[in-house]
Amino acid sequence: MGTEMLTRATFKRLFSQSLSSQAFNLLGVLAGAILATLSVYTSLNPWILVLVPPLLTVRGNVGGILCGRLSTSLYLGLVKPTLRKNTSYYYATMASTFVMSFIFSIVIGAFSFLVVNATQGGQLSLTDSLFLSTIAMMICTTLTLFITSSVAVVSYRRGVNPEVILYPILSTMNDIMMCATYTLLVVAYMSWSWGFAALSLTLFPVFAATTVYLTLKYWREEAFRETFKEGFPVALLLTFLSQITGSFLSQLEDQISAYPQILAIYPLLIDGTGDVGVIISSSTTARLALGYMEPQMSSIKREEGRKVALSSLTAGLTMMLGATLAASITYTPSILQVARSFSVIACAELLIAAPVIVLASFGLTILTFRRGINPDNVTIPIITSFADMLVTISIFLTSRIL
């Protein structure tokens, strides 16, 4: 079934599926709206925002690894299209995702504590930082494991490429779930401290014990160890490098004040650009594994490579530029202001972000495959983090020029 699905995947079919999945990013505005409810607390407690970028980055990176492994494994027969009585490879993959999420949540909590105390004084204790990051991350991870598996299985059974729709849908849902979970925890911490403490002292030991149990049970499984060997170092590095994106975004303060639509559309742009790269990478990985594509950069000019790259790119730009135009018209009554803000974002995407993400995604997938590394373990987290940085730098540059 998997090979037949690939062979009959025309440009039109890939474009429609890519556009449908990436249109789901429009729901990403909910994530920003949910976080905005914390504004009543942030003026006196600026540490609240310190944990948000790493939580979203890590959740996206680890979730991206899971999406990539599931979509490719369904084609290769390593995972059955069912939610019950699946393969050992499937359960080991689920376990590795849970364990990595817990480890990274501890890293985020400890690092955020150091950052807050270095820049803002002792506003946040180490235990509170660890509890906030761990509980938020693990609640979201637990929900994500079930939802990701369900979407992958249902789409595969119905003949829809999971490699095309899985990550775009789950990346947006992850943002919404993480923002909602973190917001509820912060509100509980600020307004219902004893309830937050009781919840933390109950859930933290449960998540820690589950992590130890899963590690001991699945450590001998190749799927479990492969994820850590190839995906963990990359995700850890990207966790620390994600701060670069924030530094560039802070330089856009004047532009955002004058053109608030830039900030309004920003989450959709980073999600959409990342989705273009992820779809290209995941689709290329499946075709490389099944021998439909040669592991060479020149393959992007041939039928299969060209079809994959252009369908994803065209769908992504259609969605992102359409949403950008709508936001520009909504926020600015002047035609000149609409034209200027739209031009800034359009040039950032068309001239810099989109071409670079296409070539980088395809090239990185080819490189990892040729070196015997599972692309699903390393390419998706790199692509999504790179897309965040690339979009931010692109807008920074075009806003200075136009």
Is the pLDDT reported for residue 250 higher than 90? no
User: For a pLDDT cut of 70, what percent of the chain falls above it?
Assistant: 78
Position 230 scores a pLDDT of 64
pLDDT, the chain, mean: 78
- Mean pLDDT across the stretch 209-218? 92
This prediction has a pTM of 0.68
Predicted confidence (pLDDT) at residue 7 exceeds the cutoff of 60: no
User: Residue 33: is its pLDDT beyond 70?
Assistant: no
Chain centroid, CA 138 distance in Å: 16
Residue 45 has pLDDT above 70, yes or no: yes
Task: Enter the tokens of residue 345.
Answer: 């974002």
The pLDDT, as a whole number, for residue 251 is: 57
**Structure confidence at residue 252 as a pLDDT band (50, 70, 90):** low
Query: How would DSSP label each residue in 7-56?
Result: HT--HHHHHHHHHHHHHGGGGGHHHHHHHHTTHHHHTT-GGGGTSHHHHH
Which range is least confidently modeled, 29-33, 335-339, 344-348? Answer: 29-33
Residue 354, C-beta contacts closer than 8 angstroms, at least 6 positions apart: 273, 276, 313, 316, 317
For residue 377, pLDDT beyond 80: no
Per-residue model confidence (pLDDT) at position 335 = 82
The lowest-confidence range among 38-42, 124-128, 147-151, 314-318 is: 38-42
* 356-371 pLDDT per residue, tens: 999 998 888 888 888 8
Q: Report residue 112's pLDDT band, with 50, 70 and 90 as the boundaries.
A: confident
- CA dihedral (152, 155, 159, 165) in degrees, to 10, reads -90
Q: Is the pLDDT reported for residue 245 higher than 70?
A: no
pLDDT exceeds 70 at position 200: yes
At residue 1, the pLDDT reads 46
Task: Give the pair of three-digit tokens for residue 48.
Answer: 């609240």
Q: How far apart are CA 51 and CA 188, in angstroms?
A: 16
Radius of gyration of the chain (CA): 21
- Please tell me the number of Cα atoms within 13 Å of 156 on its side-chain side: 26
How many beta carbons lie within 10 A of that of residue 76, not counting itself? 12
401 falls in which pLDDT band (50, 70, 90)? confident
Tell me the pLDDT band of 315, cut-offs 50, 70 and 90. confident
What does the pLDDT read at residue 368? Answer: 86
Rounded to whole angstroms, how far apart are CA atoms 235 and 381?
6
Domain holding 152, by residue range, is: 2-401
Higher pLDDT, residue 185 or 272:
185
Note the pLDDT of residue 13. 66
Domain count, the chain: 1
Q: Which pLDDT value is given to residue 206? A: 94
- The fraction of the chain above a pLDDT of 90, given in percent, is 8
The pLDDT assigned to 295 comes to 81
pLDDT band at 2 (very low <50, low <70, confident <90, very high): very low
Q: Are 345 and 396 in contact (CB under 8 A)?
A: no
pLDDT (0 to 100) of residue 138:
92
Query: Where is average pLDDT lowest: 46-55, 96-105, 254-263?
Result: 254-263
pLDDT tens-digit profile of 150-193? 888 887 787 776 766 677 677 778 878 888 898 899 889 888 88
Most confident of 13-17, 66-70, 162-166, 218-222: 218-222
Spatial CA neighbour of 65 closest among 86, 93, 42: 93
